[in-house]
Amino acid sequence: MSKRPSLASSMKALNENITPDPVALVAKAREEPAPAKFHAATREGMKRLLTPVPPELHKRLKILAVKEETTLEALTRAALESYLSKHDSN
């Protein structure tokens, strides 16, 4: 992947009245492969669940996660499992 031009070099090109060739820029962009998206191996096959919560609840969850020496993600997953086990006959 090529390095993006710096602001200094772009400004220098403007001062010298050098305009880049748009066709060449498009061709160069098409040649470069898109960067692969990163995902943690531990999340393979997982679905993302986004839920808005009030700031105070979020703060309480983060404090509990620190006290329990775990992550907010693991704490939330455990809470959901506990809730579902109480309400699910499976």
Residue of higher predicted confidence among 86 and 23: 86
Amino acid present at 57:
L
pLDDT score at 4: 78
Is residue 65 within 8 Å of residue 75, measured between CB atoms? yes
Residues 5-51 pLDDT 10s? 788 877 777 766 666 677 777 777 777 676 667 667 777 888 888 99
Q: Phi and psi for 36 in degrees, rounded to 5?
A: -70, 140
- Is residue 57's pLDDT more than 70? yes
Q: Where are the domains of the chain?
A: 46-87
CATH fold label, 46-87: Arc Repressor Mutant (1.10.1220)
Q: Pick the residue with more confidence: 37 or 68?
A: 68
What is the per-residue pLDDT for 65?
Answer: 93
H-helix or E-strand spanning residue 59: helix 55-67
CB-based contact 71:65 (threshold 8 Å)? yes
Output b/e per residue, 10-43; b: 16+ Cβ within 10 A.
Answer: eeeeeeeeeeeeeeeeeeeeeeeeeeeeeeeeee
Using an 8 Å Cβ cutoff, are 38 and 31 in contact?
no
